[in-house]
Amino acid sequence: MVNKSIFKTYLGNLLPGTDTKNHEAAPAYQLTPREALAQYAVTGTFNGTFYAGGAEQLDAVKALALQVEPEFLARVAVYAAEQGHMKDMPVTLLAMLSSLQSDAFARAFPRVVKSGKMLRGFVQVMRSGATGRKSLGTRPKKVVQAWLERASTEQILRAMVGNDPSLADVIRMVHPKPATEERKALYAWAIGKPYNYAALPELVKSLEAFRRDQTCPVPDVPFQMLTSLPLTREHWVEIARKGGWQMARQNLNTFARNGVFEVRGFAEALAARLADPEEIRKAKVFPYQLMMAWKMVDGQVPDVVRDALQDAMDIAIANVPSLTGNVVLCPDVSGSMGSPVTGHRKGATSSVRCIDVAGLMTAAFLQRNPKARVLPFENDVVHVSLNKRDSVMTNADKLAKIGGGGTNCSAPLKRLANEKAKVDLVVFISDNESWVDARKDGQPTAVMTEWARIKGNNPAAKLVCLDIQPHATTQATTREDVLNIGGFSDAVYGVIAAFAADTNGSNGWVKAIEAIEL
């Protein structure tokens, strides 16, 4: 008989050995610098996660940024802002890019910095010294000046909400050169210097008038500029009517406390706005934000408004693909998934956990693919009874209530392999920190071993590892039948659908970033 230690079978011979360790010190595969940078870009918030602190994330991103070309770094920043809907990460990547000898910085800046909040975030990153310098420098100062000159009066006022730095700080730092008397007066008013009242924009005049006399019309400005005033219910009704979609979603309980829903017809009008498809698309809302808004509204908020949040959810997940064949969904419900999805931040930790996001994404896939099989896992596969006719909110809540145990990513694959199940696509939604099934260094992971068994019965099967935390390792190395992707915006759905349909291949995510035109 031949020596099997030399002449290994397909299972052991063609599987790649691990080349690194994950945060649990278990063997894993290292993502390429491009994959890893993209992973951090769409999940990293520089807050402490279950496995890594904010400083550790920043160090990892800085190291990865030096391993890619400036143009790719710029494209990642744009992708993170436009597709990933991230805030801190894109401006941090811009700050890193600003010190490189490339015009990609100037081309990427207007694509990334589209709000005053992003502008202030960029300036704060630059002056913090975290990316290598403590001053703006010539090129960054010029693009900030250009942003201020392009911004409308409404954008300037929205940018004035918030500190560290305030917009006044930014104006003092960059010394914009106003092209008109109106803009000159606006800058002076914003930084508290003497100004020409007659030259002020009409919106600012209306704000000053309302501050002096609350019988004047309520100005269409950020409501934070008005809350120090003695506002009546009628004022709050006007604020709610004029506020943006995201503002309305975030302040439903505030509206209720101030009596706006007691006004006849107002609840129905607000519900219609919340469920308006165009407003939802423009707001770039994360589905999990809708889920948490639905959970957090108190009993004073009318049912018609709560129902509108569910309608909005159906619209927000419209990009979830309807997939062909035998689909298996594997949400991670282990203990580490109980950590906040955007990390721990003193005084502002999100109540949304990784397990909430995994449950929601699974429920969204299930709604669009009712024949899909759901195999939640921790130490082993966990049984859960889901009614495929239930709402996304209901099924997501059932999954999120499991929680606990270690992480064993190979468990659902082992179940499928033992059953000799028919499989076309398996989608993992996890933090990808498997350790219960750890093997010796250099050996294939248990995930790859069990996947090879599945492939023996299903040669065309594909595996998607969707990671919702900022890590640079995986349990299944990228290849023609394995896609590694990160993030929790609706952008992931298109990449997964293209991969399942053989459109872009296993490098589809990186290719989508590389295709961005600066």
Give the confidence band of 449 by pLDDT, cuts at 50, 70, 90: very high
pLDDT in tens, 133-166: 788 888 999 999 999 999 999 999 999 999 889 9
State CA 273 to chain mean position distance.
23
Q: DSSP string spanning 56-109?
A: HHHHHHHHHHTTS-HHHHHHHHHHHHHTS--SHHHHHHHHHHHTSS-THHHHHH
| Average pLDDT for 284-306 | 87
Of 94, 97, 79, 88, nearest in space to 47 by CA:
88
Cα–Cα distance, 490 to 444 (Å, whole number): 32
For residues 451 and 413, the answer to whether their CB atoms sit within 8 Å is: yes
Residue 490, pLDDT score: 75
Is a pLDDT exceeding 90 seen at residue 422? yes
86 vs 416: which has the higher pLDDT: 416
Is a pLDDT exceeding 80 seen at residue 4? no
Looking at residue 36, its amino acid is A
Is a pLDDT exceeding 70 seen at residue 343? no
Q: Which domains does the chain have, with CATH numbers?
A: 69-221 (no CATH), 233-316 (no CATH), 325-514 (3.40.50.410)
State the number of CA atoms in the 13 A half-sphere of 390 facing the CB.
14
Instruction: Supply φ then ψ for residue 432, to 5 degrees.
Output: 65, 20
Is a pLDDT exceeding 80 seen at residue 35? yes
Q: What are the angstrom distances between the C-alpha of 217 and each of 211, 229, 230, 256?
A: 11, 14, 14, 22
pLDDT in tens, 93-138: 999 999 998 999 999 999 999 999 999 999 999 998 888 878 888 8
For residues 123 and 84, the answer to whether their CB atoms sit within 8 Å is: no
Residue 6, pLDDT score: 42
State CA 393 to chain mean position distance.
19
In which order are the strands placed within the sheet that holds 425-430? 373-374, 327-331, 425-430, 462-467, 482-486
Q: Exposed e or buried b for every residue in 28-66, given b needs 16+ CB within 10 A?
A: bbbbbbbbbbbbbbbbbbbbbbbbbebeebbebbeebbe
Q: Exposed e or buried b for every residue in 191-222, given b needs 16+ CB within 10 A?
A: eeeebeeebbbebbebbeebeeeeeeebbebb
Q: What are the angstrom distances between the C-alpha of 466 and each of 71, 229, 290, 312?
A: 25, 47, 21, 24
Helix 88-98 vs helix 138-150: crossing angle, to nearest 10: 130
In the structure encoding, which two tokens stand for residue 161, read together?
Answer: 């909400």
Q: What are the angstrom distances between the C-alpha of 406 and each of 49, 336, 356, 385, 449?
A: 16, 8, 17, 21, 19
pLDDT in tens, 238-289: 999 999 999 999 999 999 999 999 999 999 999 999 999 999 988 888 787 8
Total-model pTM = 0.86
